[in-house]
Structure 1
Amino acid sequence: MAAVSRNLSVSEQTLYNWVKAARDGQLSEAKGNVVTPEQMELSRLRAENARLKMERDILKKAAYFAKESM
């Protein structure tokens, strides 16, 4: 989530709020533009993708250190 928020130049808390609102179906208009269900889904998928990448990176590091300690 941190990498995505940096990429979008918004705070991590703001991104979290957007994702939560999207999940709850409560995203409102932004600058007069209507947020479509497809845009909400895209936002949710981007956040999920960032989370999964972070989990993958953590597991890679854990596997590396487990291998080194043997």
Structure 2
Amino acid sequence: MKLYVTGEEVRAIVKKSPLHSTVKEGLIPVTPALKKLAVRVARLFGLDIFGLDVVETPDGLILLDINDFP
């Protein structure tokens, strides 16, 4: 999934991938865990506008990539 963050506002979307080609693309609810991750990344790196690539596993969320916007 992809998170788009502007300040304290977080949006989440799901996109198809080679491993998940039948997934319905679109907005998904932002869970408390996703919001917490976004806020922690913002504070840690001093970011205000950025995107995150995240994978949800049985063991929790895995952050794959951070994309900041100047």
- TM-score between both structures, scaled by the size of structure 1: 0.32
**Over alpha carbons, which structure has the higher Rg?**
1
More strand by share: 2
More helix by share: 1
- TM-score between both structures, scaled by the size of structure 2: 0.32
